[in-house]
Amino acid sequence: MNEAEILKKFGEKLRALRKEKGLSMQTLANMAEIELSQVYRIETAKINPKLLTIVKLAKALKVNPIEIISSLPID
């Protein structure tokens, strides 16, 4: 799996968790204390998020960061 596919899967998982929690992108951005545009770019696989950003997003979603990352294939 190439980098673009990994970022796409990560973004899809983040979006699914956000929607499962009933949060808008703006609400998640506010809770994670990051920019709305950053949430959008992560969900649409435009950027590779830093580890600290992943932790902030997970904390805002009240999940373990591993829950977001575990959906990524390792092959």
Domain membership flag for residue 35 = yes
| 32 assigned to some structural domain | yes
Query: Domain range spanning residue 40?
Result: 3-69
Residue 71 pLDDT exceeds 90? no
Q: Per residue in 32-58, pLDDT tens?
A: 999 999 999 999 999 999 999 999 999
Amino acid at 48: N
Cα-based distances in Å from 67 to 27, 33, 35: 20, 20, 22
- Asked if residue 75 belongs to a domain, the reply is no
User: Full-prediction pTM beyond 0.85?
Assistant: yes
The 10s digit of each residue's pLDDT in 52-66 is 999 999 999 999 999
Residue 74 is assigned to a structural domain of this protein = no
Answer whether residue 52 is part of any domain: yes
Which CATH number goes with the domain that contains 34? Answer: 1.10.260.40
Asked if residue 68 lies in contact with residue 40, where contact means CB atoms within 8 angstroms, the answer is no
Domain-embedded: residue 34: yes
Q: Is 52 exposed, middle or buried (0-12, 13-18, 19+ CB in 10 A)?
A: exposed
